Amino acid sequence: LFTAVELAPRDPILGLNEQYAADTNPKKVNLGVGVYFDENGKLPLLQAVQKAEAALQATPKARGYLPIDGLAAYDQAVKELVFGKDSEPVTSGRVATIQALGGTGGLKVGADFLRKLKPGAKVLISNPSWENHRAIFQNAGFEVGTYSYYDASRRGIDFDGLLADLKAAAEGTVVVLHACCHNPTGYDLTPAQWDQVIEVVKARQLTPFLDMAYQGFSQGLAEDGAVVGKFIAAGLDFLVSTSFSKSFSLYGERVGALSVVTKSKDEAARVLSQLKVTIRTNYSNPPTHGAAVVAYVLSTPELRALWEEELGQMRTRIKAMRQKLLDGLKAAGVQQDLSYITTQVGMFSYSGLSKEQMLRLRSEFGVYGTDSGRICVAALNENNVGYVAESIAKVL
Ligand code: LMR
């Protein structure tokens, strides 16, 4: 039965974890996957999460099946965080939100739903984009192309190219946009550029699908989420996949969501019914724990404040590590201008290193980033940043 099965290539991001685990280099540093580690190199268990877990544990609950679309209190908390409690789409009931298995799960449910709704549509992702975007939409049956995004020669966004590509897209094309902390480049559109993108999306009748996995890691929760408000103000129908993996450091709990902004309450109810069919025929219904914790934190004012403080600390420490890395590279004798490390935002720096240089970093120094040259600066700390800087200087 299985003799013809081919060996699939290792996942370009998560596959690095396996390679890293097998590496015997005592100085090894994992900057591959987008995970935040604290100043001691440890995965944090947030205080807000611990307090919520303790409170939930005080009145232990049996674990029945959740509804297909997830814990109602969680879905409501997502809506309020992403769109605003008193925002018109939320109060009028025209947003359909489902609990998803991480941001990836939200993208997948959305992709399956759109494929049934618009079987002839194409999908455009940014060039470059998160490695899994193409795979998710292709596996849902879509043909996936790209729109211009990163201009290596300018170390920034090729905005003219981006607009031109969106203008040339056929009506109904699904456009996957990174709401903040662009993965992998760390370059975000300015508010004025977003306005122009939205104008084209509207004029060309494209279908926007926002991916917001890193809300709070650039400027702050409100600032990073402002793009969502722009799409609402433009009167567009759109999808947005969100995640608490990074912002709550709850990677393994798979707490994400998909929200679909529709024209009316009635439309939202019909969309929700279809999302439920997609979920039921994939994994039936989502798990309880992570959603219960997030819902508890977001609906308890003092825990919500504590969470925002802890998220702010992660954001501030990442920025400090960007500066340390830059200082370390200069101290290691690198002459070229690498100031982009401190202007990029979010968890990643798109280092500009070639695949060969990234492979050398791995094999000679045990420093793991993706082949594309992306390194997770959120995994740097006082103990490893100097070594990482020296290693990068050597391969440069
Ligand atoms: C990443 O880009 O490293 C993260 O989003 C984790 C993942 O699932 O790839």
- Residue found under tokens 């003092």: 302
Structure tokens at 118: 């618009």
Residue owning the nearest CA to atom 1 of ligand 1 = 34
CA–CA separation, 29 and 325 (whole Å) = 14
pLDDT of residue 351: 86
How many Cβ atoms from other residues are within 10 Å of residue 313's Cβ?
14
| Nearest-atom index, ligand 1, CA of 102 | 8
Dump strand ranges (E) for the chain.
29-30, 95-101, 123-127, 144-148, 150-151, 156-157, 174-178, 207-212, 238-243, 255-261, 348-350, 367-368, 374-376
If we measure between CA atoms, which residue out of 189, 182, 240, 190 comes closest to residue 214? 182
Length of the chain: 396
| Nearest-atom index, ligand 1, CA of 183 | 2
pLDDT of residue 33: 95
| Nearest-atom index, ligand 1, CA of 370 | 3
Q: 99 exposed, middle or buried (CB, 10 Å; 0-12, 13-18, 19+)?
A: buried
Dump strand ranges (E) for 291-342.
none
CA 345-381-152 angle, to 5 degrees, is 35
**Quick check: 167 and 199 in contact, CB under 8 A?**
no
Residue owning the nearest CA to atom 9 of ligand 1 = 13
Q: What is the Å distance from ligand 1's center to 13 Cα?
A: 7
| Nearest-atom index, ligand 1, CA of 14 | 9
Residue owning the nearest CA to atom 4 of ligand 1 = 34
Strands 207-212, 238-243: parallel, antiparallel or unpaired by DSSP?
parallel
Outline where 146-244 has alpha helix (H). Answer: 159-168, 191-203, 221-233
Ligand 1 pocket: which of 10, 11, 13, 244 to mutate (most atoms within 8 A of CB): 13
Q: What is the Å distance from ligand 1's center to 34 Cα?
A: 5
Q: What is the Å distance from ligand 1's center to 267 Cα?
A: 32
What DSSP line would sit under 236-303, residue for residue? Answer: --EEEEEE-TTTTT-GGG-EEEEEEE-SSHHHHHHHHHHHHHHHHTTTSS--SHHHHHHHHHHHSHHH
Task: List the chain pLDDT tens, one digit each, 396 residues.
Answer: 999 999 999 999 999 999 999 999 999 999 999 999 999 999 999 999 999 999 999 999 999 999 999 999 999 999 999 999 999 999 999 999 999 999 999 999 999 999 999 999 999 999 999 999 999 999 999 999 999 999 999 899 999 999 999 999 999 999 999 999 999 999 999 999 999 999 999 999 999 999 999 999 999 999 999 999 999 999 999 999 999 999 999 999 999 999 999 999 999 999 999 999 999 999 999 999 999 999 999 999 999 999 999 999 999 999 999 999 999 999 999 999 999 999 999 999 998 899 999 999 999 999 999 999 999 999 999 999 999 999 999 999
Ligand 1 pocket: which of 130, 178, 368, 370 to mutate (most atoms within 8 A of CB): 130
Residues with CB under 6 A from ligand 1: 13, 33-34, 104, 130, 132, 183, 213
Would you say the ipTM is above 0.90? yes
Q: What is the Å distance from ligand 1's center to 129 Cα?
A: 11
- Cα 392 to chain centroid distance, Å, stands at 26
pLDDT of residue 207: 98
CA 34-38-41 angle, to 5 degrees, is 85
Q: In the beta sheet, which residues pair with residue 157?
A: 150
pLDDT of residue 102: 98
Q: Residue 197 carries which side chain, given as an amino acid letter?
A: V
Q: Residue 96 carries which side chain, given as an amino acid letter?
A: A
Q: 4 exposed, middle or buried (CB, 10 Å; 0-12, 13-18, 19+)?
A: exposed
Q: What is the Å distance from ligand 1's center to 142 Cα?
A: 21
| Nearest-atom index, ligand 1, CA of 34 | 3
Ligand 1 pocket: which of 37, 132, 136, 246 to mutate (most atoms within 8 A of CB): 132
Q: Residue 319 carries which side chain, given as an amino acid letter?
A: K
Domains along the chain?
14-45+303-395 (3.90.1150.10), 65-287 (3.40.640.10)
CA–CA separation, 168 and 176 (whole Å) = 15
Q: What is the Å distance from ligand 1's center to 225 Cα?
A: 19
Q: Which long-range contacts (CB under 8 A, 24 or more apart) does 158-165 make?
A: 159/189, 159/193, 159/196, 162/126, 162/197, 163/196, 163/197, 163/200, 165/124
Ligand 1 pocket: which of 16, 20, 33 to mutate (most atoms within 8 A of CB): 33
Q: What is the Å distance from ligand 1's center to 11 Cα?
A: 10
| Nearest-atom index, ligand 1, CA of 13 | 9
Catalytic annotation, residues: 130, 211, 246
Structure tokens at 5: 């099965």
Residue owning the nearest CA to atom 6 of ligand 1 = 34
* Omega of the bond leading into 60 within 30 degrees of 0 (cis): no
